[in-house]
Amino acid sequence: MFFIFSKLLVFIITPLVWIIVLLLFSVFSKNEIRKRKCLKWALGLTLFCTNPFIFDECARLWEIPATGFSELKKYDVGIILGGMSVNDEKMDRVQFYRGVDRMIQAIDLYKRGYIKKIIFTGGSGRLSHPEMKEGELIKPYMIKMGVAPEDLWIENESKNTRENAVFTKTLIEKEKITGNFLIITSAFHMRRGMGCFKKVGIVADPYSTDRYAGPRSFELDNLIVPNISALNDWTNFIHEMVGFITYKIMGYA
């Protein structure tokens, strides 16, 4: 039930949905004052959510900063949180999303000797096709990219971040895995990820990847020119903030 509710919530909190609803009110409302107000709110929200500079500044406040190699110590296990791919049945291949940086960065750390072994945690996060386990899809790619099979554990039953932590804890206890751990996930997702793993008793350090907020830019096109990609970024960002708050209320993080 929580899984289904979370998917519905993602739709409700999407900024584009708000904008469309406001525009519909401005078109169909019989009250002229309400019409004008809804239109102003729709335009204002559109300008706000398509401004790259505003988004970057908000993301910078939320994201857990990246860690430089000079700041890293050696870790026994790197834990990669899933949510980076989907199986393209028609093309018979995996389609990767922005979050694939988690896997790429983890393999880089592995090859550099910063982590000895890797746990990938991620099953199916989709309401449809629950049989498509992300861990099973990712494993062959990681092996082809140089991770030794004996250095890789796959957890492929979890559907969300809470279950990532719970099922990884079960795997660690079953396989008697010991040592120090490094959580590898997107910078904007790290707060929720670290909170969930800490809650189940896994003490780990963060390693943030695919940051939204890079170096601060005061270029004109970044300051005032609307960018539709910022609207999509806000969707992901608001989803994560609401998810974090929900997890806190539920006692998951």
Tokens 């990884």 identify what position?
168
Quote the pTM value.
0.89
What's the pLDDT tens digit per position in 187-203? 999 999 999 999 999 99
Please indicate, yes or no, whether residues 77 and 178 belong to a single structural domain of this protein: yes
What's the pLDDT tens digit per position in 80-94? 999 999 888 888 888
Alpha-carbon span 160 to 239, nearest angstrom: 13
Q: 12: domain range? A: 2-63+222-250
Asked whether residue 3 carries a pLDDT value surpassing 60, the answer given is: no
Alpha-carbon span 140 to 138, nearest angstrom: 6
Please indicate, yes or no, whether residues 22 and 89 belong to a single structural domain of this protein: no
Alpha-carbon span 152 to 149, nearest angstrom: 5
How many domains does the chain fold into? 2
The reply to whether 235 falls in a domain is: yes
Element (H, E) at 36: helix 32-49
Asked whether residue 4 carries a pLDDT value surpassing 70, the answer given is: no
Asked whether residue 243 carries a pLDDT value surpassing 80, the answer given is: yes
pLDDT of residue 5: 62
What are the Cα distances from residue 188, in Å, to 57, 88, 212?
13, 26, 8
The reply to whether 164 falls in a domain is: yes
Please indicate, yes or no, whether residues 115 and 174 belong to a single structural domain of this protein: yes
Please indicate, yes or no, whether residues 230 and 203 belong to a single structural domain of this protein: no
The reply to whether 215 falls in a domain is: no
Q: Lay out the sheet containing 115-121: strands in order across.
A: 152-155, 115-121, 75-81, 181-186, 204-209
Please indicate, yes or no, whether residues 36 and 158 belong to a single structural domain of this protein: no
pLDDT band at residue 61 using 50, 70 and 90 as cut-offs: very high
- Sign of torsion, CA 82 1 172 123? negative
Please indicate, yes or no, whether residues 243 and 166 belong to a single structural domain of this protein: no
